[in-house]
Each structure stands twice: as C-alpha cells, then as structure tokens.
Amino acid sequence: MNLSDVQTAFQSAYRPDPRDGLTVTPQVNAGDFTVQVRYLDADGELRGFDVVAQPTPSEGRSAPEVGLNVAEVVARELAYGQLSAADEEGQFKRIVV
C-alpha cells in the first residue's frame, strides 16, 4: 500500500479542529503513517496523542479506507476534550489503527 495515498486520504477526510494551540502533523515514515496531535494547554503543558497506521496487504483495506479510519480516530479523540499528558518517559498515548 502506498502510504502517501493514505496521507492524501487522511488530509481529504480530516476536518481541522479550530482550537488555538492545537497542531495535527501527518507524516509518512518507513512502514507506517503517523499523525501526531499536540495541544499546548492554558497551563503551558503539552498534551496529545499519536495515531499510527501500519497497514498490511492481508487486511484488505484500501489507502482511502485507512486514511478515513485515521481521520475518524483523530476526530473522536479530540471530541473527548481531555487530552493526555506525556507519561513518565515523555511518550504520548499511541493509538494503532
């Protein structure tokens, strides 16, 4: 699967959240497509999560389906409103799609 096609599908499906201090950064890495979501809250604490898609041919999903799934997960997590802070090791919550 072409991960650039997944990124294109994500960018078409995702509707940006208008809140100030929020950044949504999609990127293609070796073997996966990751969306980093970060939010600098009013107290200056960085919060967020990562959504990772590691599609395999055996899944039977197309690039547009994977991109849409990632966009839905990002939107759903943002709708909860309470974003997690980094853990003790500085890692953010990771959601695999």
Q: CA geometry: angle at 14 spanning 8 and 15, to 5°?
A: 135
Per-residue pLDDT, 48? 95
Which pLDDT value is given to residue 11? 97
Length of the chain: 97
The per-residue pLDDT string of the chain (97 residues; one tens digit each, 9 = 90 and over) reads 899 999 999 999 999 988 888 999 999 998 899 999 999 988 888 999 999 999 887 888 999 999 999 999 999 999 987 788 888 898 999 999 9
Candidates 13, 25, 16, 28; CA nearest to 70 is 13
Cα–Cα distance, 89 to 43 (Å, whole number): 20
Predicted confidence at residue 82, as pLDDT, reads: 78
Q: How far apart are CA 66 and CA 38, in angstroms?
A: 21
